Structure 1
Amino acid sequence: MIAADAPDRRAARLCAIDPTGRLRHLPRAGLAALLRPGDLVVANDAATLPASLHGLHAASGRLVELRLAGWVTAGDPTRFVAVAFGAGDHRTRTEDRPPPPPLAPGDHLALGPLAAMVERRLGHPRLVGLHFLGGRDAVLAGLARHGRPIQYAHVPQPLALWDVWTSIAADPVAFEPPSAGFALDWGLLAAWRKRGVGFATLTHAAGISSTGDPALDQRLPFDEPYRIPQPTAAAISRAKSGGGRVIAIGTTAVRALEAAAQADGRVRPGAGVARGRITAETRLRVVDAILTGVHQPGESHFELLRAFADDAVLDRALETVAAQGYRAHEFGDCLMLERRRAFESGRLAS
């Protein structure tokens, strides 16, 4: 079953996995009771750009879709890393989309009201550096008028921009939604506050989840800029010193926090770039638990979960949620996974 089969997020379910590997199935509203006083929840407040752009490749006259996938310079809306496709749209599986016409540096693209130029190829025929012609304001206006949210065939109906913004969305710097944040609503935040659970945010430019090309997917996630406010870094320090856990809402929050972590587990405030994958070999310094969607082996998101639990636990969890019809993808059900180290240090939640 896919997320599009049941779009009501309030009906979503949660599989909670403790550090011993024990699984519990709860309604997602059960999140309120899983945390204890002194814990801190950290979520990504990035809003999602309308990052899918359709148009024409001037040299060939052929249709193209460009999916913006990374910042060349954080916050500069005139230059992006982009993944190119041929004719078609999201209703065709990404893996089945035709390739774009051959793209070369200097090629011009007409993308609705936007004019863009290929600056360079980035080691793959479909991955390019893209330069929008015109000033910042003109580019932002063109994205707002012509861009659409990136989406995939499991949700056939076109999504509006507000469909891919979480309830805490702030700066529009993400290319796909930090989708674990869809689990958050003001009622849940109020319940956590009542229980003495802290809440803080960071901003991380969530990238794309699939290119449709296995070789290119192995390069995901691309470099992703982030910004951690000083109050968030201070809240993490207080939670850790008081014996509380840090719970990341989604893989992007984990990537930002671990990229900013110092050897002693303190988090540096300010801007940075998260590079490379988090895998089973990664030693987590900050995050004790993650709330995330249901991911599949081989995806970079799933590789990150292997830093929290061994393969036997994850395999059993996937088998269980599949048998119970959990919905995957960005509008689906959730897993909450507490890492082994928290159990070994005697900090298992009661």
Structure 2
Amino acid sequence: MIAADSPVQRPPLAKLLVVDRFGAMTHAVRSALVEFLRPGDLVVANDAATLPASLQGVHVRSGEPVEVRLAGRRSLAADDVRQFVAVVFGAGDYHARTEDRPPPPVLDPGDRLTLSPLVATVERRLGHARLVGLRFDGTPDAIWAGLARHGRPIQYAHMPVPLALWDVWTPVAGPPVAFESPSAGFALDWHVLEGFRARGVGFATLTHAAGISSTGDPELDRRLPFDEPYHIPAATALAVRLTRARGSRVVAIGTTVVRALEHAALADGRVRAGDGVATQRIGAATRLCVADAILSGTHEPDTSHYELLRAFAADAVLDRVNVALQAGDYRTHEFGDSVFIEREYGRREYFSPQICADERGSESGILF
């Protein structure tokens, strides 16, 4: 696939590959998304705004330059911004491919990083030379101000121009808690939302701290996604329950929405409202309990995002999808084209409370 290299969220000719529950495929323009929805469906989007989570600075003990990419936190609370999980690189920035970035200097507990105007201490190593727990000095207000003034959006070498913060905020962005953009939401705008309303399709949001998509190291990438906090409003939980009760579909806008909904699935079939931390891995063996379809970017095999798509469709179907994406010159990465995949026929056709309880407790990433 072709890497999207321009930060345009909604190009008029953006493509959409639709895969129905029987594996049949349809090519369309993404602006026609509403035509593939049914009256009574509920679309759920992630309303997280993206943090300027990339910080350049210096490892004080060695004097060497570093780039810190914030990658996790334990809650969405506005005053809970002192501690983060972070991926740290040596000298350089997004102009170099992530996999070509040099490692940081050896990071020991107690080491200080100056990330002008912020200062952070390495609290612990997390099983990899690039992955640490950081604690920032200062008050929450000072930390927020430092991020706003010094931070930049995390970006990768396929995008040659520096991203502005507004480039990575979706049209429904609200609380600034995502480490990278929940970019499936780029497909939305007010015209699309009006199309939902006119077609009798419901719309709801949740907030999920979308994590990073790549660390540049295969071993560490296998631990993605890290644990990610989320909040599901009571109105959204109610909308999901009513949608499922009438036999209509819950359509997730992006992998983060799937993670939150599936983690919040209760044993009686409802979705729990309130705060949580998505710790589970979703993949081919997962039996989905809430999400009936997903709108997502075009993801490459062996990524954590692609692994989640395997819960919706068999590998043989996804293999055909990959061929179609290649043949159709679909663009990949966050500003690329989209796929709409309905959960394959026969995959958890009947709700099982015990299955949903078991799935919520499966293998986790990194938790404070």
TM range (shorter): over 0.9
Tell me the number of residue pairs that the alignment of Structure 1 and Structure 2 aligns: 346
1:27-176 aligned at under 5 Å gives the runs 27-75=29-77, 76-176=80-180
Q: 1:342 deviation in Å?
A: 7.1
In the TM superposition, what whole-angstrom CA distance separates every residue of 1:283-317 from its partner, at most 9, and x where no partner exists?
10000000000011111111100000000100100
Q: 1:263 deviation in Å?
A: 2.7
Q: Percent sequence identity over matched residues? A: 64
Q: 1:341 deviation in Å?
A: 4.0
In the TM superposition, what whole-angstrom CA distance separates every residue of 1:49-93 from its partner, at most 9, and x where no partner exists?
000000100011100000000004443111100000000100100
Whether the 8 Å contact between 2:74 and 2:277 is mirrored in structure 1 is: no
1:219-238 aligned at under 5 Å gives the runs 219-238=223-242
Whether the 8 Å contact between 2:184 and 2:296 is mirrored in structure 1 is: yes
- After superposing on structure 2, the runs of 4+ consecutive aligned residues of structure 1 that deviate more than 3 Å are 5-8, 341-346
Q: 1:344 deviation in Å?
A: 8.5
Whether the 8 Å contact between 1:91 and 1:153 is mirrored in structure 2 is: yes
Q: Which amino acid aligns with 1:300?
A: S
User: Does residue 329 of structure 2 align to residue 325 of structure 1?
Assistant: yes
> How far apart are the structure 1 equivalents of 2:203 and 2:178?
21
Match of 1:18 in 2: 20
Q: 1:345 deviation in Å?
A: 5.2
Q: 1:221 deviation in Å?
A: 0.4
Normalising by structure 2, what TM-score? 0.92
Whether the 8 Å contact between 2:109 and 2:124 is mirrored in structure 1 is: yes
Alignment root-mean-square deviation, CA: 1.4
Secondary structure at the counterpart of residue 35 of structure 2:
helix
Match of 1:4 in 2: 5
Match of 1:289 in 2: 293
> How far apart are the structure 1 equivalents of 2:300 and 2:171?
26
User: Does residue 276 of structure 2 align to residue 275 of structure 1?
Assistant: no
Normalising by structure 1, what TM-score? 0.96
Whether the 8 Å contact between 1:46 and 1:178 is mirrored in structure 2 is: yes
In the TM superposition, what whole-angstrom CA distance separates every residue of 1:239-285 from its partner, at most 9, and x where no partner exists?
11112100000000000000000233210101111013101111100
Whether the 8 Å contact between 1:9 and 1:331 is mirrored in structure 2 is: no
Q: Any gaps of 5 or more consecutive residues in structure 1?
A: none
Whether the 8 Å contact between 2:74 and 2:229 is mirrored in structure 1 is: no
Secondary structure at the counterpart of residue 159 of structure 1:
coil
Relative distance call for 1:345 and 1:60 in structure 2 (3 A) is closer
